[in-house]
């Protein structure tokens, strides 16, 4: 029998393996550029917050030493 945490952990694992679409990547870029929080972006594109944060780092959208978006008007 599975405990109550297993389904959530299972779906989180599935979500991390799902490929990123161009639309999702665009939503992350645009959202961070205008100052939308990673939490709101993650909810909007139906992704885990940690996954969105990791992808933003990979794309160079967040400073390496902090988890805050880059300036919106660079």
pLDDT digits (tens, 9 = 90+) for 21-73: 999 999 999 999 999 999 999 999 999 999 999 999 999 998 776 545 555 55
Q: Could you tell me which residues come within 8 angstroms of residue 29 by beta carbon, excluding any fewer than 6 positions away?
A: 59, 61
- What's the chain's average pLDDT? 82
For helices 38-45 and 49-58, the axis angle rounded to 10 degrees is: 110
Per-residue model confidence (pLDDT) at position 28: 98
Per-residue model confidence (pLDDT) at position 63: 77
Domains of the chain: which residue ranges? Answer: 21-69
């Amino acid at each position: 029998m599975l405990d109550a945490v297993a389904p959530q952990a299972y779906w989180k694992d599935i979500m991390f393996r799902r490929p990123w679409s161009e639309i999702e990547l665009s939503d992350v870029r645009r959202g961070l550029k205008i100052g939308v929080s990673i939490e709101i972006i993650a909810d909007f594109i139906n992704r885990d917050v940690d996954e969105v944060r990791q992808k933003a780092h990979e794309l160079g959208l967040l400073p390496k030493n902090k988890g805050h978006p880059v300036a919106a008007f660079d």
